[in-house]
Structure 1
């Protein structure tokens, strides 16, 4: 029994130490057992995933390093490109942009006489011609003045006609008869005085009677002379001075009548220029006073642009010089609207537009000038207030100064 026990122990040891023996015994015995897993294979299988993770981490670290290196290269290249761009930008002069404003001749239409607006015959944007009626006004005061002036003219004209035609034949005959009667009375008074005077000299008549006869004689002579002059005046007619005064009176009344008619004509306002109605300020039915603006007209043929230019660039805007400007209001994204202008006036602005240096090293004071230029060909689409953009090349400024 001891040997068998030892043998069995030995056989268990052999089984544990030699797998091949176990497998062979198993095969020989043909006993179904579960498959045996090799420890070496299990170790190998457990080691392989660990190796793969380490290699993946290594590859990812290498890729990150490459990306960082590429990013650094791009940053360096970008810095170099930016430096070259700024260097070229400093070498090339910067274009200077000026902004001006379009202006047009504006005419305010105002009433010369007060009245009520009866009708407005135009609207904003309408094109008008010279002499075209714009507003019709109703003014009863003007009509009353016209009637008064006409009545005064008739009166003055009748006085002038009377002065020019002289006295009527009946008046002349009446004046002559009065003269003849006074002359007869004067002759009778003279004869009476002579008889009384002879009687007085003979002592037959008192002195008082002689004096009374003499006074009567003198009185009848004066009356006769006055009647004669009245007759001659009737024959001669009015004096030249009276005729001149009557003529002047007629001219004065004519002037008053003409003034009233002109006031009536001015009440119906007409356009003094050809242009476009810009604004209509009043409405029909309103009562307006003398000199109150009613509407505004613009002359589209009188256009100009106003620019404020410092004296640094003033040499490019000499009188008679041309430049090109862009009007954004009439431009499109595909095609900018450009216009050529000719400078016709320059004037300095007030001191508030003067740029002054902050210290002595900054240079001298720079004055600002107002430049006015007309377009070579006016455009009816242009309106007052539209911006005009003008670009200046400083290189040309320096060349001009040299």
Structure 2
């Protein structure tokens, strides 16, 4: 209580001093304007200490109040503007930008047979057609195999001709003459045996002589039969089995010859597709092995774009659906280059997760799927690796209706 009373007394003293200071200032002003008066006639007053009052101190609380009110007004206006912005954001669809990459069919041309490159007939950037010769190769081993196969074919063919045509007429006549000579000898031996046998029966010839005549007769009979069979074989020709064997041997040699000719043809590489020569890897004079890539062809008609799309936007890329894409590499500041694409493939399995929640309340993983789409009309100016920008409206999954 004592402290509070002292503080109030001090405050009253300060107020009184301020009032006396103000009254003193007004009196001094009046004295300065009045005529000069003899100071001896004026009674001396008690001297009061002069305090100068700073008028800025009295205005400071008002200024602070105005500043606070202005800040409050700005905060309120900021909240209102933020609310309007969020409402417009919810009312207008959000645009999502996807970046894809163009790809083309690339074919690596390799050697099927080893050899030395004799000549390269195309250059990088040159357009080629199907069946056009690209590289000419020199392979002496293939030429040797071709000559060997041709010689084998001639030998097998002669054996087949012999089997099909049979013996020559001279051989047939010779076989017939041998048969007839043996038949005549057999008839003579038969007659001799009969005479000796009659003499033996009459007792005029020994038994030994009769047996020798009989053995000679039997021998000539066997020789005659063998000559006859040889004559029949010469007339009939080769057996069917021999003919089949000769035919198979000719076919085998033909296959070897065809294999050698195909190897020679494959040595002279030809283009399997129509496109543009992208890269020539080898040079003339190099020796290459089997299966080594020699050059790369690009089919400019086979073009497609690859996009990685999250599952939240996958419903906008169904198979057969079309969308527009911009190719910056072919665009100008005045006119962007746009193409229409048609989706033809969607990956069955997801590639990766683009966002993973930290707890169960945040939602689920957002998976990414690969989308492939072809342009409606291919453009030869498009190159593999060019970027394609696709802009689409973001539609939440929970708002889509079937």
Give the TM-score band, short-chain normalised: 0.7 to 0.9
SS in 2 for 1:257: helix
Deviation at 1:163, TM superposition (A): 2.6
In the alignment, what sits opposite 2:348?
A: 348
**Is the 2:327–2:389 contact (alpha carbons within 8 Å) kept by the matching residues of 1?**
yes
Which shifted more, 238-247 or 331-340?
A: 238-247
1:169-318 correspondence to structure 2 within 5 Å = 169-201=169-201, 208-318=208-318
* Residue 116 of structure 2 corresponds to residue 103 of structure 1: no
Which shifted more, 152-161 or 115-124?
A: 152-161
Deviation at 1:253, TM superposition (A): 2.3
1:144-159 correspondence to structure 2 within 5 Å = 144-159=144-159
SS in 2 for 1:136: strand
In the alignment, what sits opposite 1:4?
A: none
Q: Which whole-Å CA distance do the structure 1 matches of 2:363 and 2:211 have between them? A: 116
**Is the 1:353–1:367 contact (alpha carbons within 8 Å) kept by the matching residues of 2?**
yes
TM-score normalised by the chain length of structure 1: 0.74
**Is the 1:315–1:400 contact (alpha carbons within 8 Å) kept by the matching residues of 2?**
no
Deviation at 1:303, TM superposition (A): 0.9
Q: Which whole-Å CA distance do the structure 1 matches of 2:387 and 2:341 have between them? A: 14
Relative to structure 1, the CA distance from residue 368 to residue 201 in structure 2 (aligned partners, 3 Å threshold; closer, same or farther) is: farther
SS in 1 for 2:384: coil
In the alignment, what sits opposite 2:86?
A: 87
Q: Which whole-Å CA distance do the structure 1 matches of 2:103 and 2:355 have between them? A: 26
In the alignment, what sits opposite 1:20?
A: none
Deviation at 1:223, TM superposition (A): 1.6
Deviation at 1:224, TM superposition (A): 1.3
Deviation at 1:186, TM superposition (A): 1.8
Deviation at 1:252, TM superposition (A): 2.6
**Is the 1:348–1:368 contact (alpha carbons within 8 Å) kept by the matching residues of 2?**
no
| Deviation by residue 1:172-197 (Cα, 9 ceiling, x = unmatched) | 22111111111122222323333444
**Is the 2:352–2:367 contact (alpha carbons within 8 Å) kept by the matching residues of 1?**
no
In the alignment, what sits opposite 1:125?
A: 125
Q: Which whole-Å CA distance do the structure 2 matches of 1:349 and 1:99 have between them? A: 20
Q: Which whole-Å CA distance do the structure 2 matches of 1:346 and 1:248 have between them? A: 53
| Deviation by residue 1:18-43 (Cα, 9 ceiling, x = unmatched) | xxxxxxxxxxxxxxxxxxxxxxxxxx
1:367-382 correspondence to structure 2 within 5 Å = 367-382=367-382
| Deviation by residue 1:234-266 (Cα, 9 ceiling, x = unmatched) | 222233333333333333322222222222111
Relative to structure 1, the CA distance from residue 198 to residue 288 in structure 2 (aligned partners, 3 Å threshold; closer, same or farther) is: same
Q: Which whole-Å CA distance do the structure 2 matches of 1:365 and 1:200 have between them? A: 125
Relative to structure 1, the CA distance from residue 191 to residue 355 in structure 2 (aligned partners, 3 Å threshold; closer, same or farther) is: farther
SS in 2 for 1:348: coil
Q: Which whole-Å CA distance do the structure 1 matches of 2:237 and 2:130 have between them? A: 52
Q: Which whole-Å CA distance do the structure 2 matches of 1:353 and 1:195 have between them? A: 119
Q: How many residues are aligned here?
A: 340
TM-score normalised by the chain length of structure 2: 0.74
Q: Which whole-Å CA distance do the structure 2 matches of 1:203 and 1:351 have between them? A: 120
**Is the 1:166–1:238 contact (alpha carbons within 8 Å) kept by the matching residues of 2?**
yes
In the alignment, what sits opposite 2:168?
A: 168
More helix by share: 1
Which shifted more, 366-375 or 277-286?
A: 366-375
Deviation at 1:291, TM superposition (A): 1.7
Q: Which whole-Å CA distance do the structure 1 matches of 2:209 and 2:386 have between them? A: 111
